[in-house]
Amino acid sequence: MSDTNAITHPVGFIFNDRYLQHHPGLEGHWPDGAAFPFVEPAMHLSNYRLVMRAKHLIDLSGLSKYLIPVDAYPASISDLTVYHTPEHVDRIRAICEAGGGETGRGAPASRDSYDIALLAAGGGMAAVDAVMHGRVRRAFANVRPPGHHAMANEAMGFCLFNNVVVAARYTQRRYGVKRVMILDWDVHHGNGTQDAFSRDPDVLFVSLHQDQLYPPGFGHAAQVGDGPGGGFTVNLPLPAGSGDATYRAAFERIVLPIAREFCPEIVFVSAGQDASLTDQLGRMSVTTEGYRMMTRAMIDVAEEFSEGRLVILQEGGYSEFYAPYCTFAIVETLTGQRVGLREPFPLDYIAGRVEHRLIGASGEAALGEVTRVQADHWSALRSTSG
């Protein structure tokens, strides 16, 4: 994997202050309206601080001068219904217009959340426009609410509409792009994205996630797509505790060989920084260096096959302390710059961690199983499948 050392192409950054006004409410509140049981209530885990604090790091470090701001715009109903049912869209709108509430399994919303979710989906589309028109080479959409769990007719897992599905279908419809790659490195499986493209041989969906975490029933290695889409879903369920070394091996042995065989015309990343070292909802150990590695790998794929076209959309991340630094590392890598921001964990500490250097037996077994399953569909893996 190459390391970009100087800016050669502009990088777009999508952000809107409206994203901060989506309020999922208080953590652990009771649906019957009973008083919160603690004197000091906690904010919902999917609150505004992740994207806000990442934006602060980017601005205060001086990284912003290497970015081109790209304005988001609201997705239309027809943009959403390339995947979501009209009934789903109407239900989200009605709940929000009534003041907000639970829109699905673990997907609370506030009065303004419908409009903000349209703007989040439109943020991904705006990133696509900027990349396809050549205004920027690659882009990061710092949007919320996230999207990859949202199903065609169901909100779930903090997600209302599936931002990356909307953006990918928009790219195909608006710009005539055929082959699309979507990589999802969120610690939770992108079940909505898998569902949207399970029968589509023109969309390669690759997900690295913690095995059997969320949601139940999704993300198994044996789920490879259906019918004509068989083999174009690549699930890499990794054991809890996997760190940079296991993720690096997953890229080198599986993700990159398949990507190169697929030859995408554009690359998307669903970027959830909840596989990080200190996340509350995951049990992985990926560091900022791990996120830099994965970003460089996707830059390489985009440069080799897609004329550099790479769009990264924010998904999860629940460590207010560390996840913003991971997002910062991704954006910094996109620019090819190191602006000297002091990070919470120094490089010598990261280098000394066992999971940064070594792959455990369970990690090797997981990678071996995925390789065996996918070798039936990808010739690049057959020589290594045993």
Nearest to 225 by CA among 251, 253, 262: 262
Rounded Cα gap, residues 295 and 312, in angstroms: 9
Q: What is the CA radius of gyration of the chain?
A: 19
234 by DSSP, 3-state: which? strand
Q: How far is Cα 218 from Cα 201, in angstroms, rounded to an integer?
A: 19
Catalytic residue among 148, 149, 209, 356: 149
DSSP string, 129-163: HHHHTTS-SEEEE--SS--TT-BTTBEETTBSS-H
- Token readout for 260 is 């190169």
Q: What does the alpha-carbon distance between residue 371 and residue 179 come to, in Å, rounded to a whole number?
A: 22
Q: Rounded distance, CA 7 to CA 205, Å? A: 29
**209 noted as active-site residue:** no
Q: Which residues are catalytic?
A: 149
